[in-house]
Structure 1
Amino acid sequence: MSMDDSQITRTQWHRYVRARDAGHKEYVEEARKFDAFYYGEQWSEADRRVLEEAGRPALTINHILPAVNTVLGEQAANRADIRFKPRRKADADRAMMLQKLVQYILDDQKYDWKESEVFADGLINDRGYFDVRIDFDHNAFGEVKLDVEDPADIIPDPDAKSYDPEDWKEFFKTRWTSIDDIEVEYGKEKADAIRAHAELADHDDTLDCYRFQTTFGDTRSVAGQHGNEDRTIRSVRIVERQWRRPHKAKVFVGARGDIRPVPDAWTDDRAAAFARDNQLQIIDKTIMKIRWTVTAGNQVLHDDWSPYTRFTIVPFFPYYRRGRPFGMVRNLISPQEQHNKLSSQELHIVNTTANSGWMVEEGSLADGMSVNDLEREGAKTGLVLRYNPGTTAPSKIQPNQIPTGIDRLSMKSQASIRDISGIHDAMQGNASAEMSGRALQSQISRGQVQVQKPLDNLARTRHMIAQVILSLVQEYYTEERVLFISNDLDPNAEDEELVINQKTAEGIHNDITLGEYGIVVTQQPATDTFRDSQFNEAMQLASAGVPIPPHILVEYSHLAKRTEIADMLKRQQGMAEPTEQEMQMAQFQQQAQIQDIKLELGKKQAALQKLLAETGHIEAKTASEADPAAIQNQIRIMELQADVQKHLQQLEARIQLSEQSHKAQQKRQEQTSLTQMRGQNLQQETQISTAWINANRKDGEQRPARNDDAQTDE
């Protein structure tokens, strides 16, 4: 190992230990406790054992679960709606294209479900994290990938006080992995070096770096107890650090002084052409750039400049105050523990008062019953006691009265949970049956105000997600791509074809790499809820007299065969897309109408010629005087000429309509064929690119933190 690698690993480990000891270890323990309380494991083992030995109950009445689930339901009912507004060097068409592309990426990555996971992590564990980067595993050109990270694996900058990672100096991602996985991902040489270092290292130096297990099944991970010769490595801690440091780089400078870094993936020619087309200058400037370092033990697995202009991590914090994030469960633990203890104590008092004991004169019990028998059987229902004549009858000991107010203490603790969480009975569907609808809606609205802050911070996280995706798309989606977008509201509808960066003779059409865009993030109801609201509004408008077509109402309904019914209604109204057979029939009818017009036109023209000849003959015979027959013929000639002109116009219109219909049909067929050809070409290009990458990748090649990052560097 070189001196540089030794310095890198030493610095990396010291920075990791500093961040870990600045509160992350305590946070991990707290997060485990928060998870346990959400699951319902709300008693420590020591407390439960003491209660069991004393014969006392340990009740768990979990009020945290429904409170958290109510807020999770609020999030699940409202999904992200991301839109882009054109700003500089952009237009509305490209903004709409970007909006569809980003929505396609989010749908492909199952973003809604992953967002629910991150939101739950934030509410329960105080923190939730996305990881957004370019992945090359399934696409040779690369595609945006979103992952959900375990909050225990992410260590944010301990010195940061901002919600946005753009203001952080560094963050760590750490995980335990096997030595075999390291060999597969980073090569045999690295794995052997880590194995050799672990076998010779002292226990104090490897407490948080290696996990050992002795041979023959002993899974204890403490090193040094049995000597170095009989232990093997179970797992190794990989420390991944993304951090900012000054770097001299090329940047674009606009006429107004705006500065944008030149993407690392761009060649000098492309950067120069982009600067020339947009009236920009390229200068050298020292900027803060992201460095990506990955180490394991004393080995540097990867150390290079990050291929991204942002950290790959995107956080979600339900509540955030000056660098201290916290969630919903943290403040509910104390009242929940109080409620469990009071409920358990209340049950214990009831149990003890139900069998308080007996006062028995010695030798008074008859039928051979002993005091031990009475102790064992004395609490049974319907017990009959016989005692010897002349002795004092056995009597029950008068139990102590239940302390006044203990039941009210339990109710107070329950009310504290409700007040702290902000989740009232109305939001959980437990409102009184006597409550009016207006009052119920008012209570629900007031309760929703209590949970607006986590949802507002979720909107902030969504905005950062959109920023990261926009940055990755404009930097890496540079080649022509054909995407097919589905209609969520109508799964049976045909997919919409979306072509980006299309190369034409005039240049690149739909070039999404150009321009700056503003991001607008709103929320809309989930698909089923949105369909219900649209259906109700459409029915109200139709009832008010708005002429909404019937097939629109059917499409917004929940009928099992709504698509077939809507198509039938559209055909009845003449609004449906014609089938191939219907188009052929329409074309045949158009041709028949053209022939009829031609025949009628021929008849009119023949009659006109005959009438003109007769009129000329009459005029020749009676040139000296006006003939009434000639005047009548002139009137008839004018009518026939008007009819001929009318038929000519109808013929011309029918011919034009037929030509337009034929051209539309040809265009539709050409688009279908072109779409199929593009899909085949894209598949072939992907296979060729993947085969080329695999053929040129050397065995044992060192790779960065993840496969997608290695291929990005290539």
Structure 2
Amino acid sequence: MADVLNDDGLAKGAPVPQKFKEWFINDRSHLEEWREEAREDYEFVAGRQFSDEEMKALKKKKRPVVVFNRIQPVIDSIHGNEIGNRRETRYIPREMGDVKPNELLTGAGEWFRDKAHAESNESDAFWDTIVCGIGCTESRIDYESSQEGTPEICRVDPMEMYWDYDAKQRNLADARRVWRVRRIPISEALNMFPGYSRAEIDAQWTTADDLKSAQYDPEQNAGDDKASDGMVTLVQCQWIERESYYIAEDPLTGQQSEFTTGEYATVNKRLKKIAGMEMQGVRLRRKVRKQAFLGEVVLATGPAPCPHEFSFQFMTGKRDRNKNTWYGIVRSMKDPQRWANKWLSQMMHIMNSNSKGGLLAEKGAFANQRQAEESWSDPSAITWMEDGAITANKVKEKAPAQFPVGFQQLTEFAISSIRDTSGVSVEMLGLREAGQAASLEMSRKQAGMTILQPFFDSLKYYRELQGSVMLYYIQHDLSDGRLIKIVGEEGARYVPLMRQATEDYDIIVDDAPTSPNQKEAAWVVMMQLLPAFAKLIPPQMLITMLEYSPLPSTIVEKLKQQAQQMAEQQAQAAQQQQQIAEAKEGADIDKTKSEAEKNRASIEIDAQELSLKKAEATIGVLQGLMPIQ
């Protein structure tokens, strides 16, 4: 029996509402042409560059099927450039005070990405972007591998994804809904949604041409649960709805509070009944993200994992404005690659079907025909001929194959156009053989990267959006006191992950110091500046500079630990010296005080003795003046 219907018309166990089927059919129809082109893009990168019909035609004519795959090295070059220049996400709290990254949340983000193997999965999604124009990942918390929850950032096959046909912004930031439609084993689907039959889980309406053929008939599908193997279609949908809410003064607390539409009506009804008055609130609207798993019936429904962004995050390539779809680098390279293959095949066919040496000879031209056949191709042998055969032109060489005029130039043009249409220079591919200066080659590499910046800009924007999803998971799902490793000014240490009081953060995407290319470039610059500023740089800064060195991370960590120990020992020695100096200074002061007191006592004794002598003298004088009795 179906549960009570929600506001969006979904009820667990009830047939999928027509509204959702209509959404999906419209989105799928919009993407049909893109999906065909994307499949062809993947085929070209994999080296399968002839269609089945073309291969049959070539084989029927006994022509060679030649493919020199020049697209894949271009794709690998761009992909490798992304791997060598990865970035990191930092969180800066939006509050009064210094603009410094939150050390705990930034470290938690690095821990989240490390646990989820995010760098590898995002690089795979970026590879999809440069091939077909769309890359996708899903960020979620996996509770199957651990009851505490394990971070997951997984690359999702773009061919499993559908999205709002009206989305136009980069990375599909304005999409109102996204879909993931995948084929999974029946046993896995039944474990995910126990209590449902195979017919109820299998979303067959995703292949329907229209809404009428997408209708679900429970009686027709009843008992269709015999198969224990095979695959079923499962749909995961996330969409945006807008709900109303009110901001009003709470009659109990006297503070501004938020009320849902139902709460606002209930409170006003009670206030009017008790006090004869109502709250005066302001009606507002906001976006709410929801999620559902759909088969032929609704399997599960509820709020989306993250209320701020979809858990599915996209990277987009170049936008086709007229068709409102996205495409990658391969689209422009397919025609040159296709013609290069055909012309090479044609060239080999001409060579194979025409003569490659040989003779035209009359029967009486040679003295010994068998000996002539054996010795003609041997440059050191003598082929005997009948007298007068040479002068009579009884032997004539077969004419070599003649290629059409300009055929070779066209082939070379097609091959060079594969690289030219992509915008990837020879320097970026590492194939430049001319002895040019390293500075010139580096400047040409940077100029070539300018053409590819839209792809890398989409990757940066993706990290900002995905960083918002990751921050929500960290704050609400993972802040349970678990220990995580963070690296701050005090070095690496384990701290408990607790929820932060501040909710609003600025998400900054910066070059990661662990990126190989970034480390190499930074280290070269620092080595050039170090001799001039060596005396001005404090030792602590020199320790920080080790992070950008090309040395292995284990050696850098040991050097930093040793430098920190030496700094601590120097600090302790300085503290001990200060204590000794203070003690010595105290002893000198005490000695000075005792000597002063001794001098004062000596002066007082001298004064007393002088007073005594003056008194004795006075007595003597007085005795001399007094008459004798």
Gaps of 5+ in 2: 4-10, 216-223, 250-255, 261-279, 615-629
Name the counterpart of 1:446. Answer: 447
Contact in 1 for aligned 2:198/2:225 (Cα 8 Å): no
Q: Which amino acid aligns with 1:190?
A: Y
Contact in 1 for aligned 2:132/2:326 (Cα 8 Å): no
Q: Comparing 306-315 with 468-477, which one deviates more in the overlay?
A: 468-477
Q: How far is 1:259 from its partner?
A: 12
Name the counterpart of 1:578. Answer: 569
Give 1:107-122 correspondences, 5 Å limit: 107-122=114-129
Name the counterpart of 1:212. Answer: none
**RMSD of the TM alignment (CA)?**
4.6
Name the counterpart of 1:244. Answer: 240
Contact in 1 for aligned 2:513/2:547 (Cα 8 Å): no
Deviations 1:131-186 (A, max 9, x none): 12333345655465321111011111223333354522222111111221122221
| Separation (CA, whole Å) in 1 of partners of 2:109 and 2:202 | 47
Name the counterpart of 1:659. Answer: none
| Separation (CA, whole Å) in 1 of partners of 2:248 and 2:65 | 67
Name the counterpart of 1:535. Answer: 523
Q: Which amino acid aligns with 1:240?
A: Q
Percent identical: 22
Q: How far is 1:334 from its partner?
A: 0.7
| Separation (CA, whole Å) in 2 of partners of 1:288 and 1:565 | 51
369 and 300 in structure 1: CA distance in 2 versus 1, 3 angstrom threshold: farther
> Aligned match of 2:611 in 614, 623, 640?
623
| Separation (CA, whole Å) in 2 of partners of 1:345 and 1:291 | 57
> Aligned match of 2:77 in 70, 78, 82?
70
Name the counterpart of 2:306. Answer: 308
Name the counterpart of 1:656. Answer: none
195 and 335 in structure 1: CA distance in 2 versus 1, 3 angstrom threshold: closer
Q: How far is 1:236 from its partner?
A: 0.7
| Separation (CA, whole Å) in 2 of partners of 1:349 and 1:438 | 45
| Separation (CA, whole Å) in 1 of partners of 2:560 and 2:110 | 27
Count of equivalent residues: 558
- 1:8 is paired with a residue of what secondary structure? coil
Name the counterpart of 2:343. Answer: 342
69 and 607 in structure 1: CA distance in 2 versus 1, 3 angstrom threshold: same
Deviations 1:12-68 (A, max 9, x none): 5554344333333x4443323212211222223443344345443332222212222
Q: How far is 1:568 from its partner?
A: 6.1
151 and 75 in structure 1: CA distance in 2 versus 1, 3 angstrom threshold: same
610 and 522 in structure 1: CA distance in 2 versus 1, 3 angstrom threshold: closer
Name the counterpart of 2:416. Answer: 415
Residue 40 (str. 1) matches residue 47 (str. 2): yes
Q: How far is 1:393 from its partner?
A: 4.0
| Separation (CA, whole Å) in 2 of partners of 1:145 and 1:450 | 32
Contact in 2 for aligned 1:126/1:327 (Cα 8 Å): yes
| Separation (CA, whole Å) in 1 of partners of 2:35 and 2:284 | 41
Contact in 2 for aligned 1:77/1:525 (Cα 8 Å): no
| Separation (CA, whole Å) in 1 of partners of 2:604 and 2:353 | 132
Give 1:29-428 correspondences, 5 Å limit: 29-87=36-94, 92=99, 95=102, 97-137=104-144, 140=147, 142=149, 144-187=151-194, 189-191=195-197, 194=200, 233-248=229-244, 287-296=286-295, 298-309=296-307, 310-322=309-321, 323-352=324-353, 355=356, 357-362=358-363, 369=370, 393-428=394-429
Give 1:418-567 correspondences, 5 Å limit: 418-476=419-477, 479-480=480-481, 482-486=483-487, 494-499=491-496, 501=498, 512-524=500-512, 526-547=514-535, 548=537, 552=543, 556-558=548-550, 561=555
Name the counterpart of 1:682. Answer: none
589 and 99 in structure 1: CA distance in 2 versus 1, 3 angstrom threshold: closer
522 and 344 in structure 1: CA distance in 2 versus 1, 3 angstrom threshold: same
| Separation (CA, whole Å) in 2 of partners of 1:28 and 1:196 | 22
Contact in 2 for aligned 1:360/1:394 (Cα 8 Å): yes
380 and 418 in structure 1: CA distance in 2 versus 1, 3 angstrom threshold: farther
Q: How far is 1:385 from its partner?
A: 5.5
- 1:415 is paired with a residue of what secondary structure? helix
Q: How far is 1:355 from its partner?
A: 1.5
Contact in 1 for aligned 2:293/2:301 (Cα 8 Å): yes
151 and 192 in structure 1: CA distance in 2 versus 1, 3 angstrom threshold: closer
Gaps of 5+ in 1: 210-227, 263-280, 502-510, 627-714
Deviations 1:206-262 (A, max 9, x none): x999xxxxxxxxxxxxxxxxxx99976511111122223444557799xxxx99999
141 and 418 in structure 1: CA distance in 2 versus 1, 3 angstrom threshold: same
Q: Which amino acid aligns with 1:301?
A: L
Contact in 2 for aligned 1:335/1:413 (Cα 8 Å): yes
Deviations 1:623-656 (A, max 9, x none): 3899xxxxxxxxxxxxxxxxxxxxxxxxxxxxxx
320 and 89 in structure 1: CA distance in 2 versus 1, 3 angstrom threshold: farther
Q: Which amino acid aligns with 1:71?
A: I
Q: Which amino acid aligns with 1:319?
A: K
| Separation (CA, whole Å) in 2 of partners of 1:259 and 1:369 | 109
Q: How far is 1:192 from its partner?
A: 5.7
Contact in 2 for aligned 1:90/1:516 (Cα 8 Å): no
| Separation (CA, whole Å) in 1 of partners of 2:355 and 2:259 | 79
Q: How far is 1:128 from its partner?
A: 0.4
Contact in 2 for aligned 1:474/1:514 (Cα 8 Å): no
Which is higher, the Rg of structure 1 or of structure 2?
A: 2
